[in-house]
Amino acid sequence: MICATSEANLTISTRGLSLDLLIHSPVQDMYLCFNRSRLVGRRLTRFQAERQPNCLFKEEFVDGYNRYHLVKNEDRYIGFNRRGAQMRRGKSNLPERQHKCFSLLKEAHDFDINRHNTVIAGTVPKWRPQRRLRPPSQNSIKPPCHGVRHHHGRHQRRRNCEGT
């Protein structure tokens, strides 16, 4: 879940007040789900993903790391080995030393906690430039030269603005 580009690899969103999580890849337009034996990406709409019990996760905080397990089966965790392959067995079937493979870390390089707190508090900092209004475009001052844009089958000769 490391983001090396300007676009996030995965986005995590909640489903209503139950705090069930959906994990979505905006680049691939897929949701992360479990099938019978492994973790897969599925092309679903958000409406469909919210109703798939194999696509809903809960988040745990353990020793400063995040762990994600399936809502339907609390033994099915998202985990990767040191080569990046997914861990296929449930957490209870693995030795204790491999439990760290389920501990993930969220990274947001552009996140600034102070800026976030000021936005939430409703105070606009003085250093933030105010949004400037755009000047009106030049075309909005004078009427269009060629009249209507679409003629729907009637091909008329184009004239320039002087009428020639």
Q: Is the pLDDT of residue 13 over 80?
A: yes
Pick the CATH number of 11-104 from 1.10.3720.10, 2.20.130.10, 2.80.10.50, 1.10.645.10: 2.80.10.50
> What mean pLDDT do residues 31-55 have?
88
| Sequence ranges of the domains in the chain | 11-104
Higher pLDDT, 26 or 143: 26
Distance of CA 105 to the CA centre of its chain: 16
Is the pTM above the cut of 0.85?
no
Lowest mean pLDDT among 59-63, 68-72, 98-102, 145-149: 145-149
Q: Is the pLDDT of residue 42 over 70?
A: yes
